[in-house]
Amino acid sequence: MLSPSSNIRRFASEYDIIESGLFNDNGTAWRLFDTEEPDPDKLPADSSLRRAYIGYFKKGGIMGWGFGIRPEKPL
């Protein structure tokens, strides 16, 4: 969903993922859109991240979760 040059992907690549999964539905989309609107055609598309998610959602994608640790870098 995100381009290889995405800052979010770069940030995530700094972590060793411990566990990840998918939510049962897209009920957590409010975290990205600040609304609980279920219709993707009515969601705000004012950023590349939001537009990418709307396209992903329309293709049947659902949000996921994950957690990891960020290894300490040597000084």
CA distance 43 to 65: 21
Q: List the structure tokens of 3.
A: 């381009």
**This prediction's pTM:** 0.73
**pLDDT tier for residue 75 given thresholds of 50, 70 and 90:** low
In the predicted model, is pLDDT for residue 18 greater than 90? yes
* pLDDT computed for residue 30 by the predictor: 87
**pLDDT tens, position by position, 26-71:** 778 888 999 888 889 999 999 999 999 999 999 998 888 899 999 9
* pLDDT computed for residue 26 by the predictor: 77
In the predicted model, is pLDDT for residue 19 greater than 90? yes
